[in-house]
Amino acid sequence: MSRIVPIVIAFAGLLTLGAWGKPSKAAKPSPKTAALDPDMAAPAGASAPAAPASPSAKEKGQAPEAPGNFYFPREALIGWAVKDAAAGDGFLETHQGDLNLTPGSTQKLFTTYVALDLLGGDKTYVTELFRAGKVEDGALKGDLIIRGGGDPSFGGAQFGPDHSAETIFAQWAQALRKEGIKRVEGCVIGEGGYLDEEGPHPASLWEDAGNYYAGTVSGLSFNDNLYLAAFSGASSAGRPVTLQGTLPVHSGIARFDNRLLTGPADGRDSAFIIGGFPAPGRILRGSYPAGRMPFNIKGSLPNPPWTCAREFGDYLSAHGIPAAAGSAALCGDSLAMPNHAPVAGAVAVPGARHVSPPLRELIRIVNQKSDNNFAAQVLALLGKGTGRSGDWRGGLEAVYGWLAARGFDTGRIHLKDGNGLSRYNWIAPAQTARLLAHAYRQKNFPEFQASLLGAPGATAKLERYGGGWEGKLYAKTGTLEGVSALAGYMKAASGKWIVFSIAANNFEAKNGDAQKYFAPLLRKWYAKY
């Protein structure tokens, strides 16, 4: 999800090359609920989605009635637009629908649909192992090269064990054995030059850059472009927290300045990482509740191709094929992009070729899990796939060209990245609604719809808007600090499909709680249209 404060996580088994044991689970804040307008009762005979509970009197005092008869903080800027999904021009309802508002992760709808439309849902990306030099007496007298083709899922945890580093590396090791290679006397090198590498997006906030959700785009992604920092700590507050290590081991970070402390046992986690590429170090700040140990924090890999090469070299050495990766600076520089000059004369190793899931599945991760790294990668792939530069610039050029060709008001769409993290993004809700209505009328709509929350297999985030939305609501959320947005498709009580886009900016509320303020609007539209 799009977040300003990084998440302290608790999971085991995400990384396939090792495990630190099962960490404690972070506490979840108690949810607040939205007000229910009495006008929003469903018409007779309609099966209306159940409403969430009404807010407390204190909440009502802090959140006076806003346009549309629902409670929202007084200081918020709010806009929305509603359209008949099957119709062309015109809106069923708008409130400040042309107001330029920060969209948060609902911006991912533009990235994913334009990529789906221009590249096709069947598009895949190949990562392949090459070798340079001769094989003599079981020794490769040259280098191994992992050449990326832009797959954001390579060696990651999003698509199960078939796409994990453990599985891929095992297959590639077997392919090397079939080639008669028993040791590698050169380097193991990662090549990410399929896309234009430059580190974190230049419009990223400094407090985001070191954290997993603001990762680096590369032609060779690895392990979802993140590392796991594992910690142990004390049972009482105010004590130092000890960094045990990272997974992958080769994070590319030379040093950690660890200033983490334990906080109150009933408190909230506030641990975060400061720093970004190309700096060699990271600062660990904040606190984590005492007694919930061990715990993990996800950070952004500064140079995924470098890490991938080092991890594969270690894997080979541990499985009977000694490799020199990591033994010399000549094998790559973790603080350079590219991390190694391209190797000429390399030939593909038979049987060492990995194909990504199709694009339709990649964008499902973007929209259902709101994965910022996948979104940034898809935008760069869009640029590359349309003959432009393979970075955010080329991707945005493709998006703007697509919008202009279809008559969108690009003066009300200002995009700086592909995932909605930058504060330089703004989109009028009416333009997001137009995008959704356009997609609804296209042949590829089922693929796009399947990428949204509410589709089969999606996480149950729609519960925050009340129960009973199954088969009636398909949506994308967007949250940043002071930003909450929601956009998608609704099958109203009449049976008509409508599209909607809502955005609220500049208010104080917990991100998850802020989303619940939209529930009464959804129920009202369900009954009305």
- 345 and 281 fall within a common domain: yes
- 116 and 139 fall within a common domain: no
Residue 9: inside a domain, yes or no? no
Q: What is the pLDDT of residue 71?
A: 58
- Most distant CA pair in the chain, distance: 82
β-pair partners for 139: 136, 183
**N-terminal to C-terminal alpha carbon distance within the chain:** 30
Determine which of 11-15, 106-110, 263-267, 452-456 has the lowest per-residue pLDDT on average. Answer: 11-15
- 373 and 521 fall within a common domain: yes
Higher pLDDT, 76 or 249: 249
- 310 and 406 fall within a common domain: no
Q: What is the pLDDT of residue 16?
A: 38
Residue 405: inside a domain, yes or no? yes
- 267 and 154 fall within a common domain: yes
Q: What is the pLDDT of residue 355?
A: 98
Q: Of 302, 300, 297, 261, which is closest to residue 280 (Cα–Cα)?
A: 302
Q: What is the pLDDT of residue 51?
A: 58
Q: What is the pLDDT of residue 379?
A: 98
Mean pLDDT of the chain: 86
- 289 and 234 fall within a common domain: yes
Residue 21: inside a domain, yes or no? no
Show which of 336, 357, 378 is a domain's final residue.
Answer: 357
With beta carbons less than 8 A apart as the criterion, state whether 146 and 127 touch.
yes
- Say whether the peptide bond before residue 248 is cis (omega within 30 degrees of 0): yes
Residue 7 pLDDT more than 70? no
- What's 457's domain CATH number? 3.40.710.10
Q: What is the pLDDT of residue 96?
A: 95
Show which of 292, 324, 357 is a domain's final residue.
Answer: 357
Domain count, the chain: 2
- 82 and 136 fall within a common domain: no
pLDDT band at residue 497 under the 50/70/90 scheme: very high
pLDDT 10s digits, 228-245: 999 988 888 999 999 999
Residue 7: inside a domain, yes or no? no
Residue 430 belongs to domain spanning? 56-121+359-528
Residue 28: inside a domain, yes or no? no
pLDDT 10s digits, 169-190: 999 999 999 999 999 999 999 9
Determine which of 51-60, 85-94, 361-370, 472-481 has the lowest per-residue pLDDT on average. Answer: 51-60
pLDDT 10s digits, 126-141: 999 999 999 999 999 9
Percent share of the chain, pLDDT over 90:
66
pTM exceeds 0.85 for this model: yes
Dihedral (Cα; 333, 335, 337, 340), 10-degree rounding:
0
Record the tokens describing residue 194, joined without a space: 């399929």
Show which of 330, 357, 384 is a domain's final residue.
Answer: 357
Record the tokens describing residue 189, joined without a space: 């090198």
Residue 38: inside a domain, yes or no? no
- 497 and 432 fall within a common domain: yes
Residue 485: inside a domain, yes or no? yes
Task: Please list the alpha-helical segments (H only) found in 369-503.
Answer: 372-385, 392-405, 429-440, 445-449
Residue 307: inside a domain, yes or no? yes
